[in-house]
């Protein structure tokens, strides 16, 4: 891996390479460049996952001509595909070095590098929703019970917007979550439940690539991934489209007024 | 905090009192919630229906300012039932008998009358807390910002010792510090009576040590606390003031009073990021920088000293705060020359035993907990493990006292103040942020539906709140989060400043003002009325 | 073109969460959580996520201000520091060291707080130093 990256940088196949480097025992995202080639020796594949593609969109927004290399797992690849069809980060400007998903036995759980999901406490199982639950299982709960469980989860929300901020495929200029006519701003916590979460879920339709970063970023361990997976399965049933997996435009690129797809200013 | 943040997750019972954790310390609320989901009992004592109260096994809404009575009531029940940690009390504490005598006077019936908490709830709280092994107690400004703040804190300690919860993992008495580096500012001796690491200025040996290190004679009399500085400014005995990174004109109680005190100063220098309300009154304003533009360390509420790395150059002509202080010192004839913050850290740790074993290299990205006395020491996540710092833990007999100001015919409601989730302190930083501004643009008074009906006011209506100290016009928000008879105003907003209203009466020992309780009246604003 | 992520600590509340500052060509463009931080474990609250916004605010002071003819006006560092030093010296000479005081900050670093109290005690010669944390 290191040799390839060095070669890419040397031969100017890429102008920079986004990967990870260890700093005091922590893997941090790092931008490797040709003028500091020997640093590539420190390149590692990290246990932690950052959205390197989101960083790449920030760079591309300022330097559209930049050729960006990056380390990519399956989830990064799916995100890149979505970013391409929504004109946020063009396919041709990115070169990826593919690494295996984490050595997790749970590959089936998320078909990406979601590491061992931490076991969930008994009270959460009883009142809330086990983050490891499958969509099928969740659908088997009776409706009333299901509602109560979700409301329990949502009412923990501290409105950090972390789920949105970390999302590699959230790039709208005006976010519905901040639309005063949809969701009231301010006041006390929790935010409006379940509105906040359902608005976000609806907007993830045709976009969410099931990387799990949102749930990872949620301070309250709300099972966001399960929620968006359900939305994803509806889209797949209705349109036969799975974001980041299927080729071509998303059905949501096509409906309504021509959507604005200019890169989001940072 | 006696214990670390991550330990909270493993407590069997968590008792939150006077802390709206999810809004003021969100990432600690995460641990509380995780503990709860793992099966811990959660007790919340807060007059308002705060977010975490929704998840509590028992939530009590004690009358504002009645915490000592509430805690004594719990301890009464614990003792009555023999739930105390007898062995721990015998081996590790002193002053128990006298304390017991006081507590036995707080019968559930008496406590119910003072606090308006039902006997059943009181018993439930006592039972959960005593049964938890360990139980963690968390508190914040809702405990300290009272004229009886020190009494409140001591009562919390009494309770924790009574059940043997101090000096154990996941237990403890855990004050949640409001600002990122309050802990550090105290540790570094920015207090009128102590040098770094709490070495008293009145102690001959300590004074000699610092005098020798700094090469100057040092004064042996304790200085003024901020609450004493204000009257000294008004009297004209305090004439010059240098304020670094604070906004006392907005953050201090009884703001009108504070403003006139500042106006009397002969000279005021302010070092800050913005033109704050205080900076507007200054003779000199020195632009410092944010944490992004400097390196150095912060010590968080769990005593973890952590390293900041400078990410960008200072904006414009602004300068590192330590450089400004050094230059000022040099200009006054005492040369200070440091290359970087690390050099200052190295000097500091020679004089600060609890930080002695730390270095930038060792701090890394995980930081270290003090006390960390030598370079091999791993740091101390929880305090008082086998023995208290002072040897034996001391029980204090504490009686209940009313707040300095209680509602009466003229000012019939209670007023309390606090934070909301999107803003911080006086808003000098958060209100500059577009996303945070979007969440809450200005101040408001939150009140219960019942009170709103009685007063005939609606959400969004502007009303006048007045206390014996001042008045503000402010918008109403009706919410059943509020307790009936008690209004709540967040203190982040200068134009609807809670601290025009609050009482500067303060705790006699700690000097902390009673922000959390005063008496207030509400008047509708009649259209066309002449403004006072 | 330079792009880096610099690990640091949130400067709002006392939790002390770990953040990464996103810096492009010397400009601060964003804040994100430090995933492996022992306190925050890759999560932040709304304040932490927006930490960069107050830094790059247009309202930041960028030049010292000195009161001249009754109004604050832009001044050089030298003049501002000199004036401050002289005014404090004058007050101390006339009224003694306890007629001046310093308010330190729960917002600045340990190193800076250490210097503030050292300055107050060794240079001004008073123990009149406190911070606003009790407020
Ligand atoms: S990350 Fe979690 S707590 Fe934060 S806004 Fe999203 S759902 Fe709410
Ligand atoms: S991110 Fe939020 S919880 Fe963490 S230190 Fe900052 S303000 Fe506190």
Q: How many other C-beta atoms are found inside a 10 Å radius of the C-beta of residue B334?
A: 17
Contacts of B among chains (3+ CB pairs under 8 A): A, C
Inter-chain residue contact C45 with A55, CB threshold 8 Å:
no
Give the Cα separation of B419 and B203 in Å (integer): 38
Q: Give C2's contacts in chain A (Cβ within 8 Å).
A: 31
With CA atoms as reference, the chain A residue closest to B436 would be: A186
Q: Which residue of B294, B311, B436 is in closest CB contact with C109?
A: B294
Say which CATH architecture domain B6-176 belongs to.
3-Layer(aba) Sandwich (3.40)
A48, C44: Cβ pair inside 8 Å? no
C99: closest CA of chain B, how far (Å): 4
Per CATH, which fold does C3-55 belong to?
Answer: N-terminal domain of TfIIb (2.20.25)
The pLDDT, as a whole number, for residue A115 is: 53
Highest mean pLDDT among A87-91, A188-192, B166-170, B267-271 belongs to B267-271
Q: Do B477 and A24 lie within an 8 Å CB cutoff?
A: no
Q: Answer yes or no: are the C-beta atoms of C101 and C129 closer than 8 Å.
A: yes
Q: For position B178, what pLDDT does the model report? A: 82
pLDDT tens per residue, range B267-284? 999 999 999 989 999 999
Dihedral (Cα; B295, B301, B305, B306), 10-degree rounding: -50
Whether A102 has its CB under 8 Å from any CB of chain C: the answer is no
- What is residue A109's predicted lDDT score, i.e. its pLDDT? 42
Would you call B402 an interface residue with chain C, using a CB distance cutoff of 8 Å? Answer: no
Task: Say if ligand 1 is within 6 A of residue A190 CB.
Answer: no
Which among A163, A166, A175, A185 is the best mutation to test ligand 1's pocket, defined by most ligand atoms within 8 Å of the CB? A163
Mean pLDDT of chain A: 82
Domain spans, chain B = 6-176, 182-369, 413-524
| CATH architecture designation of domain B182-369 | 3-Layer(aba) Sandwich (3.40)
B331, two tokens: 């200009």
Residue B148 to residue B69: CA distance in whole angstroms: 11
The answer to whether residues B303 and B7 touch, using CB atoms and an 8 Å cutoff, is no
Distance from CA of C58 to the nearest CA of A (A): 16
Ligand positioned closest to the Cα atom of A170: 1
pLDDT of residue A257: 47
> In this predicted structure, what is the pLDDT of residue B532?
41
pLDDT string in tens for chain B (532-residue length):
899 999 999 999 999 999 999 999 999 999 999 999 999 999 999 999 999 999 999 999 999 999 999 999 999 999 999 999 999 999 999 999 999 999 999 999 999 999 999 999 999 999 999 999 899 999 998 998 899 999 999 999 999 999 999 999 999 999 998 888 989 999 999 999 999 999 999 999 999 999 999 999 999 999 999 889 999 999 999 999 999 998 888 777 777 888 999 999 999 999 999 999 899 999 999 999 999 999 999 999 999 999 999 999 999 999 999 999 999 999 999 999 999 999 999 999 999 999 999 999 999 999 999 999 999 999 998 888 888 878 899 999 999 999 999 999 999 999 998 888 888 877 778 888 888 888 888 889 999 999 999 999 999 999 999 999 999 999 999 988 899 999 999 888 877 778 888 888 888 887 788 889 999 999 998 765 544 4
Pocket test for ligand 1, best of A129, A175, A218 (most atoms within 8 A of CB): A218
A23 with C36: Cβ contact below 8 A: no
Nearest ligand 1 atom, CA A158 = 3
| H-state helical runs in B215-293 | 226-235, 248-251, 255-263
Q: How far is A194 from chain B (nearest CA, A)?
A: 15
Which of chain B's residues have a Cβ under 8 Å away from the Cβ of C112?
Answer: 244, 296, 321-322, 325, 341, 344
Going by alpha carbons, the residue nearest to atom 7 of ligand 1 is A157
Q: What is the pLDDT of residue A102?
A: 55
Report long-range pairs for B104-111 (Cβ below 8 Å, ≥24 apart).
B104/B76, B104/B79, B105/B72, B106/B69, B106/B72, B106/B73, B106/B75, B106/B76, B106/B400, B107/B73, B107/B76, B108/B73, B108/B76, B108/B77, B110/B69, B110/B73, B111/B69, B111/B70, B111/B72, B111/B73, B111/B76
Grouping H, G, I as helix, E, B as strand and the rest as coil, residue B109 is helix
Residue with tokens 């952590």: B306
Q: Is C64 on the interface with A (CB under 8 A)?
A: no
* Tens of pLDDT, residues A96-144: 888 866 544 444 444 454 555 667 888 888 888 888 888 888 888 888 8
Distance CA C80, CA C87 (A): 11
For residue A159, which residues of chain B lie inside 8 Å, CB to CB? 421-422, 439
Q: Whose CA is nearest to atom 4 of ligand 2?
A: C17
Q: Does B24 touch chain C (CB under 8 A)?
A: yes
To the question of domain B413-524 being in CATH 1.10.3720.10, the answer is no
Residues of chain C contacting residue A158, judged by C-beta atoms under 8 Å apart: 45-46
Yes or no, beta carbons of B440 and A159 under 8 Å apart:
no
Which residues form the pocket of ligand 2, taking CB atoms under 6 Å from any ligand atom? B 26-27; C 10, 12-13, 15-17, 40, 44-45, 47-48
Contacts of A252 (CB under 8 A, 6+ apart): A205, A206, A207, A259
| Domain range list for chain C | 3-55, 63-95, 97-135
């Amino acid at each position: 891996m290191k040799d390839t990256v060095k070669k890419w940088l040397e031969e100017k196949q890429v102008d920079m390479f986004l990967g990870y480097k260890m700093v005091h025992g922590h893997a941090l995202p790092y931008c490797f460049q040709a003028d500091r080639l020997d640093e590539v020796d420190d390149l590692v594949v990290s246990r932690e996952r950052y959205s390197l593609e989101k960083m790449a969109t920030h760079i591309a927004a300022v330097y559209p001509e930049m050729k960006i290399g990056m380390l990519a797992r399956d989830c990064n690849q799916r995100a890149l595909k979505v970013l391409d069809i929504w004109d946020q980060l063009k396919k041709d400007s990115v070169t990826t070095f593919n690494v295996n998903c984490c050595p997790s036995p749970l590959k089936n759980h998320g078909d990406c590098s979601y590491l061992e999901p931490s076991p969930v406490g008994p009270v959460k199982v009883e009142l809330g929703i086990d983050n490891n639950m499958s969509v099928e299982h969740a659908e088997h709960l009776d409706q009333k019970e299901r509602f109560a469980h979700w409301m329990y989860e949502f009412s923990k929300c501290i409105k950090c917007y972390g789920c949105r901020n970390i999302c590699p495929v959230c790039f709208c200029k005006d976010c519905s979550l901040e639309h005063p006519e949809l969701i009231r701003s301010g006041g006390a916590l929790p935010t409006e439940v379940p509105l906040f979460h359902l608005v976000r879920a609806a907007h993830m339709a045709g976009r969410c690539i099931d990387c799990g970063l949102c749930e990872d970023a949620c301070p309250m361990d709300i099972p966001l991934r399960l929620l968006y997976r359900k939305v994803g399965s509806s889209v797949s049933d209705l349109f036969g489209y799975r974001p980041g997996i299927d080729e071509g435009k998303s059905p949501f690129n096509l409906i309504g007024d021509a959507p604005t797809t200019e890169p989001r200013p940072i | 905090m006696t214990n670390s943040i991550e330990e909270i997750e493993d407590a069997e019972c968590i008792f939150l009192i006077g802390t709206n954790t999810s809004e003021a310390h969100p990432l600690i609320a995460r641990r509380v919630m995780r503990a709860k989901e793992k099966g811990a009992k959660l007790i919340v004592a807060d007059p308002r229906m705060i977010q975490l109260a929704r998840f509590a096994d028992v939530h009590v809404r004690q009358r504002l300012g009645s915490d000592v009575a509430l805690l004594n009531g719990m301890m009464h029940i614990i003792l009555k039932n023999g739930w105390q940690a007898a062995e721990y009390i015998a081996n590790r504490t002193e002053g128990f008998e006298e304390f017991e005598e006081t507590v036995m006077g707080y019968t559930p019936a008496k406590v119910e009358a003072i606090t308006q908490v039902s006997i059943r709830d009181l018993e439930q709280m006592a039972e959960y807390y005593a049964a938890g092994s360990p139980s963690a107690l968390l508190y914040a400004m809702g405990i300290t910002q009272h004229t009886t703040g020190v009494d409140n804190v001591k009562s919390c300690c009494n309770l924790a010792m009574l059940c043997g919860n101090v000096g154990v993992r996941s237990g403890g008495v855990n004050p949640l510090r409001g600002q990122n580096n309050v802990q550090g500012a105290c540790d570094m001796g920015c207090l009128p009576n102590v040098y770094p690491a709490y070495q008293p200025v009145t102690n001959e040996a300590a004074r000699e040590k610092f005098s020798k290190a700094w090469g100057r004679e040092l004064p042996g009399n304790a200085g003024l606390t901020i609450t004493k500085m204000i009257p000294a400014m008004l009297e004209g005995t305090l004439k010059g003031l240098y304020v670094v990174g604070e906004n006392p004109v907005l953050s201090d109680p009884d703001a009108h009073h504070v403003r006139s005190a500042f106006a009397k100063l002969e000279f005021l220098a302010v070092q800050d990021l913005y033109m704050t309300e205080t900076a507007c009154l200054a003779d000199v304003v020195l632009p410092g920088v944010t944490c992004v533009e400097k390196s150095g360390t912060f010590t968080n509420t769990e005593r973890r000293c952590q390293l900041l790395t400078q990410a960008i150059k200072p904006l414009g002509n602004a300068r590192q705060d330590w450089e400004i202080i050094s230059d000022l010192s040099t200009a006054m004839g005492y040369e200070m020359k440091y290359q970087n913050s690390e050099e200052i850290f190295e000097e500091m740790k020679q004089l600060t035993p609890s930080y002695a074993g730390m270095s930038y290299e060792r701090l890394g990205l995980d930081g270290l907990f003090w006390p960390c006395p030598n370079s091999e020491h791993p740091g101390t996540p929880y305090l008082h493990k086998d023995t208290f710092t002072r040897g034996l833990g001391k029980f204090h007999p504490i009686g209940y006292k009313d707040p300095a100001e209680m509602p009466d015919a003229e000012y019939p409601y209670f007023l309390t103040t606090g934070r909301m989730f999107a803003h911080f302190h006086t808003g000098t930083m958060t209100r500059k942020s577009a996303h945070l501004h979007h969440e809450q643009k200005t101040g408001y008074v939150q009140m219960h539906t019942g009170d709103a009906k009685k007063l005939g006011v609606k959400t969004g209506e502007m009303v006048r709140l007045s206390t014996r100290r001042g008045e503000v016009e402010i918008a109403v928000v009706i919410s059943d989060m509020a307790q009936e008879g008690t209004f709540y105003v967040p203190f982040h907003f200068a134009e609807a400043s809670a601290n025009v209203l609050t009482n500067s009466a303060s705790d006699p020992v700690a000097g902390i003002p009673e922000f959390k309780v005063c008496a207030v009246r509400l008047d509708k604003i009649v259209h066309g009325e002449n403004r006072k | 073109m330079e792009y880096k992520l610099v690990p640091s600590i949130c400067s709002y509340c006392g939790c002390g969460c770990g953040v990464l500052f996103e810096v492009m060509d010397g400009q601060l463009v964003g804040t994100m959580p430090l995933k492996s931080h022992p306190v925050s474990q890759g999560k932040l609250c709304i304040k932490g996520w927006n930490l960069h916004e107050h830094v790059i605010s247009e309202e930041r002071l960028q030049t010292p201000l000195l009161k001249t003819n009754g109004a604050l006006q832009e001044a050089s560092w030298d003049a501002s520091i000199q004036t401050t030093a002289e005014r404090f010296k004058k007050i101390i000479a006339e009224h003694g060291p306890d007629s001046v005081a310093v308010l330190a900050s729960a917002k600045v670093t340990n190193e800076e707080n250490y210097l503030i109290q050292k300055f107050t005690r060794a240079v001004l010669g008073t123990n009149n130093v406190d911070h606003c944390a009790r407020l």
